[in-house]
Structure 1
Amino acid sequence: MEIKEDNIINIHNYLPHREPMLMVDYILELTKENVMTSFMITEDNIFVHNNEFAESGLIENMAQTCSSILGQSFFENPNADTKVIGFITNIKKIEIFSLPKVGDKIISKASLISQYENICHIFCETFHNDELLIRAEINLFIQEVKS
């Protein structure tokens, strides 16, 4: 898979997550219906156990990847101090095939299935090289938090 470095988007413009819960490094592609992200598994990651990225980390990576599709509408202005809260409301049809190791870069691809206001249904797959690690359908809810 060829990654075009000049197209990389700063994830901080589309997600409220910060360390240590940020499980996406870069948005590689982003449209209103699709997103592709990358994430390097590091030894100090809170989801790494015995040199492997745990299932819960893969699920969080998928959720953050998926939420950037819906999050676009909240973070269109990178200078605004927008605060949002989001929830995974449902995970269905989840399949975990393999766990990546420390030093692996994973690529997650998500496609919007349906959306109603701030609720969306998204299909996502995560790969290391060409190996499918996990796939699932996720429902997310995101809303802006008013001060």
Structure 2
Amino acid sequence: MELKDENLINIHNFLPHREPMLMTDYILELTQEKVITSFKIEKDNIFVFNNEFVEAGLIENLAQTCSSILGQSFFQNPDVETKVIGFITNIKKIEIFALPKVDDIIISKASLISQFDKICNIFCETFLNDELLIRAEINLFIQEVK
């Protein structure tokens, strides 16, 4: 997926996460049922060990990506002060195939399986180019942060 400046939504404006826990950079695509984000692995990231982005970092990246699906109503008006945070309530299944390295840009994709109020079940994957790094099905709870 080509990253074009005019198509990027800066996720920093919408997630309450800040350094060192912010694990997504941009929203590349967002609909009611799916989201795609990008993230560049920096050498000073707290989840980098021996030049690799470790498993916990991949999981946090997926959780922040998934938060966008339920939290997107807050993205429509950048002047709104309300922000959202997602909490993983359950990881139903997870498979980790490879770890990205420093300076890699990973693309995470999440698709809504089901939703009840602020709780959702989401299927998500992260890629480095065409290589699948992680695949998971998680439950997330979204809470407003004022």
TM range (shorter): over 0.9
CA distance, structure 2, for counterparts of residue 65 and residue 119 of structure 1: 15
The answer to whether the 8 A contact 1:99-1:133 is kept is yes
The answer to whether the 8 A contact 1:35-1:111 is kept is yes
With over 3 angstroms needed to count, the CA separation of the structure-2 counterparts of 1:85 and 1:29, relative to structure 1, is closer
| Matched residue SS, 1:58 | helix
* Aligned residues with identical type, % of pairs: 81
CA distance, structure 1, for counterparts of residue 132 and residue 10 of structure 2: 25
Structure 1: runs of 5 or more not aligned: none
The equivalent residue for 2:128 is 128
Which residue identity is paired with 1:7? N
Deviation at 1:5, TM superposition (A): 3.2
User: RMSD between aligned alpha carbons?
Assistant: 1.4
The equivalent residue for 2:91 is 91
The answer to whether the 8 A contact 2:15-2:83 is kept is no
The answer to whether the 8 A contact 1:38-1:107 is kept is yes
1:4-39 per-residue CA deviation (whole Å, 9 max, x = no partner) reads 432111113432212111100100000111100000
CA distance, structure 2, for counterparts of residue 81 and residue 140 of structure 1: 22
CA distance, structure 1, for counterparts of residue 144 and residue 8 of structure 2: 25
The equivalent residue for 1:82 is 82
The equivalent residue for 2:109 is 109
Equivalences, count: 146
Is 1:50 the counterpart of 2:50? The answer is: yes
CA distance, structure 2, for counterparts of residue 138 and residue 92 of structure 1: 6
With over 3 angstroms needed to count, the CA separation of the structure-2 counterparts of 1:31 and 1:107, relative to structure 1, is same
More off after superposition, 56-65 vs 15-24: 15-24
| Matched residue SS, 2:74 | coil
CA distance, structure 2, for counterparts of residue 119 and residue 43 of structure 1: 34
| Matched residue SS, 1:65 | helix
Structure 2: runs of 5 or more not aligned: none
Which residue identity is paired with 2:51? N
Which residue identity is paired with 1:112? L
